Every structure is written in C-alpha cells, then in structure tokens.
Amino acid sequence: MLVERSDVSEELARMHTHIGHFRELLAAGGEVGKKLDFLLQEMNREANTLLSKTGGVGGKGTRITELGLAMKAEIEKAREQIQNVE
C-alpha cells in the first residue's frame, strides 16, 4: 500500500506535459502572461502532491523531497518573472 501511495509517476507525467505546454506558449509569444501563470500554478500543485507522497518514504524519498523543494523554488522564481510579463 505504501508503494502505491508513494508512486509519483502520474505527477511527473503531468509535470512533463505542463512544461511542454509552457515552452509552446513561450515560443508562440504574444500575451501569454496569464496562461503561463496558470501553468505555473498547476506545476506548483503537482510539486506539492509529489512532496506529499514522498514524506514517509525512506531511501530515495529524501532525494525526491530535495528535488521537489528545488522544483517549487524554481516555479516560484518563474511566477515572479511572469508577473512582469503580464
């Protein structure tokens, strides 16, 4: 049961999709600030879910937690930059 609850593959797949969409919006240009901000919100939710799933997992869970926290920090930096785009 613990293994099933700690599976983060779905969150990683969604994060990958969000990143791809984010890149497409950046490449398209134009007024994309609000769309990018929304995507960053979604990425932050995925990071939160990922972190909540790794809390009780030993071993690699600690490394995943470190990476998840770093991901959240980068998402927050991007959100601050996107505020200037709007």
Tens-digit pLDDT profile for residues 22-81: 999 999 988 888 999 999 999 999 999 988 887 655 666 678 888 889 999 999 999 999
Helix or strand or coil: residue 32? coil
Tens-digit pLDDT profile for residues 8-22: 889 899 999 999 999
Q: Considering the entire predicted model, what is its pTM?
A: 0.82
pLDDT at 84 over 70: yes
Domain boundaries, given as residue ranges, for the chain? 2-85
18-21 long-range Cβ contacts below 8 angstroms, 24+ apart: 18/42, 18/43, 18/46, 19/43
